[in-house]
Chain A
Amino acid sequence: MRMPDGQAAGQRVADRPVRLDDYRAVVPASTLDLLRRLADRVRGRSLVHINSTRVGGGVAELLQRYVPLLEELGVTTRWDVVRGTEEFFRVTKSFHNALQGQSQSFTDAMLRTYLETNQENARRLNLDADVVLIHDPQPAALIASANPKADGTRRGRWVWRCHIDASRPQRRAWTFLQQFVTQYDAAIFSLPKFAQRLPIPQYLIYPSIDPLSEKNRDLTPEEISATLQRLGVPQDKPILLQVSRFDHFKDPLGVITAYRLLKKHDDCRLVLAGGSAEDDPEGAQVLAEVLTARNDDPDIHVLVLPPTAHREINALQRAATVIIQKSTREGFGLTVAEGMWKGKPVIGGFAGGITVQIIWGVTGYTVNSAEGCAFRIRRLLHNPDEAAQMGRNAREYVREQFLITRDLAEHLALMVTLLR
């Protein structure tokens, strides 16, 4: 079912909190009705979200939208964050990296800091709710200190939501964390390959994008043109775009190789847009390699954008002819869904969550080499009708699978399941 697309819906709601009805512009009315009726089954129940920060990062961004929408749906929802010293957050950063497979060392003092901070937060925070949703490793040990009832059981149902790629965790870090995770009633992971061997149910909930956010809302052609002009990217020939930080796993050099193979036959521009690399030595090095590989080609645009450049990313994606995400290793890779939402075919590396977002030959192509990437782009440039159809398919697939409304529905379904 194809929906009429909302006209600049994000603008309309920019000066007030987003309400569920605002999504009528972008999802079928039946989806919102289903969400409301599902919520009726947990109406009046309470939910508390705990994470580590109110600003910055994908989880905080998500919760800023989730909490008011859940409240509107009749679920009494609170959101609180753990407090800690710089040392605590250094330790949890190490946990984060270790769960993502980086080698990290942990001293007894580090583990003690982690446990003591969680104990202090368990005393401070109000964790009394029907469902307690703990996000990521930072607050995972809260469960060990949460006040049980007199009979030793806890009132609420506790769920650990792991947002990070834990497919290849450093064993020592995971073993330490596992002692807490096994005390939960359930865990949620973003991809099946992130799941672990656990004696508790492990649910799969894909992350989602918000179609009304600045990064995804509809833009007028004038807004797109003005933004591209400001970024110095002419719209005189097809634009190939990869949005990602400058990281070897995102393979920006492979994208340049694909562009050069293509450029022998077809005139086009390549835009590589990524975040600032000031505090990331590896990122700075990859950016330097990209600039060297660019070799002063005026049709290669390397844009280093601040983390707040949501409208710029949005405009670039809407102006692109083909969107690329040629990662060799990836978490979920929501930039793919963002590109697909703009109605563009996406060519992605065969990695992580890219493989669940791209239906090969239907919404785009997954590729395994620069050559494959060049071939698929060339084919799409020469078959604009096919590319347009893929773009339409891509947008519909995102509407069905990767919007915040589906994400909310699955969280409500989880509450229904846990509380029945």
Chain B
Amino acid sequence: MTAARPFEFVECLELREMLGRTAWDERELLAGIEDVPAGSIAYHTRSYFLRSRYLAAPYPNDFATWAAIQIRDRVLGERLTVVDPFDFSDIEQLRAELVTIIDHHLTTVQTVPRADYGEPFHFMRSVLIEVPTGISVTTLRAFRDGLERVDTSAIYYHFYESHRRPEADPLAWLQTELGRDDVVTQMRRLNPYVTSLAGMRAQLLTACDTALGDAP
């Protein structure tokens, strides 16, 4: 089957901006999370994956990493790792969940853990620069080959940030243009939170290969 509307792969690059706000202890981290622009929450959670393309660090978001490594509060670090940013369609809901966890954690400690020996937390955000690849596909086979060819930033752009532009959502395209509900169902089962971009690409390729009858 050939799609009437082609799917165009877009890669991306992140330009990181420092907000000039820091937190030295968990109470300041909480206040920062409450106040900073939504883009900063997204930067420290979702777009962590764009900065760790091949390797997964021990904690998959910046807040958890800071709590565990710089504050040496492994309990809060672990509690924050449970928050899967891809469970939240609205960044404000994600912010509220983070605030709830840290606020509750602070009621369980006698003194507020502080980065006495570590680095403070620096709140950041980023501008995502879109870079069209010129790869335009109309079949599942070509889509699969495109997935294999593109920079991993395209995996991030299309599968982690698809809410940015409806036409950039590959699952919607596969469903409406190619009618491949089977592929879409398989891809929906994949969880971006527990893998790297390279790992995600491998799983997406497997889903395509299975549908194309190419699976080993």
**Contacts A189-B18, A198-B20, A417-B129 given; does A361 touch B58 at CB 8 Å:** yes
A34 touches B (CB below 8 Å): yes
**Contacts A1-B198, A37-B131, A202-B20 given; does A397 touch B55 at CB 8 Å:** yes
Question: Could you mark each residue 121-132 of chain B with 1 if its beta carbon is under 8 Å from any beta carbon of chain A, else 0?
Answer: 010100101011
* Min C-beta distance of B86 to chain A, whole Å: 22
**A393 with B55: CB separation less than 8 A:** yes
Query: How many inter-chain residue pairs (CB < 8 Å) link A and B?
Result: 88
Which of B15, B51, B58, B134 is close to A414, meaning CB atoms less than 8 Å apart?
B15
**A34 with B13: CB separation less than 8 A:** yes
* Min C-beta distance of A65 to chain B, whole Å: 20
Q: How far is the CA of A304 from the CA of B158 in the complex (A)?
A: 52
Contact size class for A?
A: 35 or more
B188 touches A (CB below 8 Å): no
Interface residues of A in 382-417 (CB under 8 A from B): 393, 396-397, 400-401, 409-410, 413-414, 416-417
Q: How far is the CA of A401 from the CA of B14 in the complex (A)?
A: 12
Chain B residue contacts of A28, Cβ below 8 A? 151
A360 touches B (CB below 8 Å): yes
**Contacts A30-B149, A31-B151 given; does A201 touch B57 at CB 8 Å:** no
Chain B residue contacts of A230, Cβ below 8 A? none
Kindly report which residue of chain B lies nearest to residue A363, judged by CB atoms. B55
**B129 with A416: CB separation less than 8 A:** yes
**Contacts A38-B131, A193-B120 given; does A1 touch B152 at CB 8 Å:** yes
Kindly report which residue of chain A lies nearest to residue B70, judged by CB atoms. A355
Interface residues of B in 1-40 (CB under 8 A from A): 11, 13-18, 20
A268 touches B (CB below 8 Å): no
B69 touches A (CB below 8 Å): yes
Chain B residue contacts of A67, Cβ below 8 A? none
Q: How far is the CA of A28 from the CA of B14 in the complex (A)?
A: 18
Q: How far is the CA of A300 from the CA of B110 in the complex (A)?
A: 48
A60 touches B (CB below 8 Å): no
B118 touches A (CB below 8 Å): yes
**B17 with A197: CB separation less than 8 A:** no
**B129 with A203: CB separation less than 8 A:** no
Kindly report which residue of chain B lies nearest to residue A416, judged by CB atoms. B129
Chain A residue contacts of B11, Cβ below 8 A? 30, 34, 37
Which of A362, A393, A397 is close to B58, meaning CB atoms less than 8 Å apart?
A362
Q: How far is the CA of A272 from the CA of B16 in the complex (A)?
A: 36
**A30 with B150: CB separation less than 8 A:** yes
Chain A residue contacts of B131, Cβ below 8 A? 34, 37-38, 41
**B16 with A204: CB separation less than 8 A:** yes
B175 touches A (CB below 8 Å): no
Chain B residue contacts of A205, Cβ below 8 A? 16
Instruction: Mark B residues whose CB is within 8 Å of A.
Output: 11, 13-18, 20, 51, 53-55, 57-58, 69, 117-120, 122, 124, 127, 129, 131-134, 149-153, 198
**Closest A-B pairs by Cβ, 5 of them:** A192-B122, A30-B151, A204-B16, A413-B15, A195-B18
In the assembled complex, 8 residue pairs joining A and B whose CB atoms fall closer than 8 Å, in A order, are A30-B151, A201-B17, A203-B15, A359-B55, A362-B57, A400-B54, A413-B13, A414-B15
